[in-house]
Amino acid sequence: MAKFDIIAATGCPTGIAHTFMAKEALEKAAAERGLTIKVETHGQVGVENELTKSEIAGAKAVVVAADKDVQAERFAGKPMVSVGVSKALSVEAAGKLIDRALAAKGDDTVAAAADVEDEVEEKESIGHVIYKHLMNGVSHMLVFVVAGGVLTAISFLWGITSFDSTAADYNSFAAMLKIIGGIAMNLMVPVLSAYIAESIGKRPALVPGFVAGMIAIQGLPINADTGMIDAGGSGVGFGFLGGIVGGFLAGYVILLLEKAFSKIPASLNGLKAIFLYPLCSTAIVGLVMLGISGPMAAINQGMMDFLQSLGNSGPVILGLAIGCMCAFDMGGPVNKAAYATGTFLLGTALEAGVGTETYNFGTNFMAAVSAACIVPPLITTFAVVVGKKYFSQEDHDAGIVNLILGCTHITEGAIPFMTKNIWPVMPIMMLGSSIASILTIFFNVHDPAPHGGFLVLPVVENGPLWVLAILIGAVVGGILFVAFKKYDFEKNQKAAPVAKPVEAPKAAAVEAPKAEAADFVKVENVFVAEDFASRDEALSFVSNQAVKAGIASDADVVMNAFLAREAEGTTGMMEGFAIPHAKSDAITEAAVIVVKDESGVTGWDTMDGAPVNVAIALLIPGAQAGTTHLKILSKVAEALMDEDFRATVKGSTDAAEIAKTINARLV
């Protein structure tokens, strides 16, 4: 059985994009550090690449990057870091998590070494714990909403009242589709409640969770004649919000019961699981839910009235709120809040029926949410096509793929573009989404399906105008994005001075043929007999040599770039190697400088605690941060996993041999 240095688990509420983006980032970050890793994903199709007990036991550390329950209790006792999935979407962020996990204590607490602020974060804030439980419910609920909403929407293809046997456009097949879709939609709140509870109290919490969810949609039944509680009466449900409250209530009641029943002999565990837990928890949760039904119904109605008031304020106010929320974090908590609100309103709309004011508002709101989610990836597609020369080939390819993602309502494809330049890219995305939402509301578009993007166009009322609203938002945002990239591109070109040839530094004592122009490591940039008192002295030496060699224009700026990267997480590897890297506009060409210190550089944190003997320093122009930088870094990290490579570079005193060995691995 293979052993891994790092094991990880990733999961996001929808299980579509963030889950796998975090997986890729963690794998790349581990490769940079010469570590092996296995990442288990909790996506919408279920658990993939599942970790075995032996793999968990053999791992040095664990990284959990998830906004849903990934059964982290399996990792108890292992050094571990647990954060939200959004904290692991870039290679640098993922690398920092790996470093913290390796430095964490190997017990049930999760804390990083020598960093109090990190300790607090790694123990998981109360807010993140609550969000994780909530998103576990949302992720299970969404599939019911999508299936039920789309089936209901398809039934409308035969006519808006085709499900009604008294209507002229009645169709029996359409009626059956609407029945099936309605059943799926009605399960939305019970499933939400049950899986919030399950995330907290595990399997025993499912029973009270489902009961709480059913009470949330039915309310407290009252006899209309007597005004008293009556099983045959009818109540006012308190829906989505009630399901959330019920889920948390059910989960924590189970935890309390576990403590209360902890004195019962282990031989009666079967009795607890099949009798005591479901009986007591259902009674407690049911009574509390029925008792709070009145206040909860009032709160629920108040929320609906608030949303209606936003709609009454005009399309600009409502559309601006929807657009900004959906594009703010593109699949994160704020985006999910807007989307969950839209699905709740859609469920209420479909229940109210076609032609009602509730139906019109809910389906219009859903159309605006969908438009806002579709726009950001389409902005990137427009930008990479119109302003191709301002983007790297990697970004261009990603932008083209985003055409498919955007058209199918997957917003997350725009995240890599935003993380590179949060300002002003985030405001640009929010503006484009807001324009699309405002126009969607203004055009009176109605979308009875909660997901699917342009795939559900046949059931969207005023579909052509909806597409037009989305295209306008995408084009406006795309033009602004191209304008920013053009400005940034031209600024970087002006900032890069023309490199002047200089004499080779005296430290390069070995004469050898000049390296080819394509080689990143030139013989004169390999220093085999240095003696550094500290990490910073070594990095300062590299920074000054970069200026002497015409690679950079300002040694202080380069030094600061090196230190900024070290502050994010050490670049010290294992067996005496380090890969410091600096990305800066003061660097005029991509290059590699190698320094060797036989006695070892102390004070440079490494994976195995050994001093650094060889530093392979990467110097990358700012404009190539996401392309050349990652290419060289991954190649060097991969090379360091080769024992022969390490032995040659570490053992040789021939600058030409070292340069040739490293260049061969950078091809």
Can you list the positions of beta strands (E) in 431-529? 521-527
**Contact in structure between 592 and 632 (CB atoms under 8 Å):** yes
What are the structure tokens assigned to 604, written together? 């440079």
**Contact in structure between 662 and 592 (CB atoms under 8 Å):** yes
Query: Could you give the CA distance from residue 235 to residue 212 in angstroms, rounded to a whole number?
Result: 15
Q: What is the DSSP code (8-state) at residue 163?
A: T
Told to judge if 12 belongs to the known catalytic residues of this protein, a careful annotator would answer yes
Query: Could you give the CA distance from residue 40 to residue 5 in angstroms, rounded to a whole number?
Result: 14
Query: Could you give the CA distance from residue 397 to residue 401 in angstroms, rounded to a whole number?
Result: 6
Which residue among the candidates 12, 280, 326, 373 is catalytic per the annotation?
12
Q: What is the DSSP code (8-state) at residue 599?
A: E
Which residues have a Cβ under 8 Å from the Cβ of 189 and sit 6 or more positions away? Answer: 141, 213, 216, 217, 239, 240, 242, 243
Q: What is the DSSP code (8-state) at residue 273?
A: I
**Contact in structure between 48 and 19 (CB atoms under 8 Å):** no
Which residue among the candidates 140, 451, 581, 629 is catalytic per the annotation?
581
The label of the residue with tokens 């009961």 reads 211
What are the structure tokens assigned to 56, written together? 């968990």
Which residues have a Cβ under 8 Å from the Cβ of 268 and sit 6 or more positions away? Answer: none
Query: Could you give the CA distance from residue 432 to residue 289 in angstroms, rounded to a whole number?
Result: 42
Told to judge if 581 belongs to the known catalytic residues of this protein, a careful annotator would answer yes
Angle at 658 between CA 603 and CA 4, to 5 degrees: 60
What is the DSSP pairing of strand 46-48 with strand 37-43?
Answer: antiparallel
Query: Could you give the CA distance from residue 346 to residue 363 in angstroms, rounded to a whole number?
Result: 6
Which residues have a Cβ under 8 Å from the Cβ of 394 and sit 6 or more positions away? Answer: 626, 627
Angle at 284 between CA 278 and CA 286, to 5 degrees: 90
**Contact in structure between 164 and 102 (CB atoms under 8 Å):** no
Can you list the positions of beta strands (E) in 413-568? 521-527
Query: Could you give the CA distance from residue 18 to residue 228 in angstroms, rounded to a whole number?
Result: 49
Q: What is the DSSP code (8-state) at residue 410?
A: -
Alpha helices in 552-610 (DSSP H): 555-568
Q: What is the DSSP code (8-state) at residue 272?
A: I
Alpha helices in 59-164 (DSSP H): 91-103, 116-122, 126-155
Q: What is the DSSP code (8-state) at residue 581?
A: E
Distances (CA, A) of 25 to 56, 60, 93, 94, 98: 20, 19, 8, 6, 11
Backbone angles phi, psi at 82, to 5 degrees: -130, 120
- What is the Cα gyration radius of the chain? 29
Which residues have a Cβ under 8 Å from the Cβ of 223 and sit 6 or more positions away? Answer: 229, 230, 232, 233
Q: HSE-up of 397 (CA within 13 Å, CB side)?
A: 4
Q: At what angle do helices 239-260 and 206-218 cross, to 10 degrees?
A: 150
| DSSP string for 282-304 | HHHHHHHHHHTHHHHHHHHHHHH
Query: Could you give the CA distance from residue 452 to residue 464 in angstroms, rounded to a whole number?
Result: 16
Q: Which residues are catalytic?
A: 12, 581
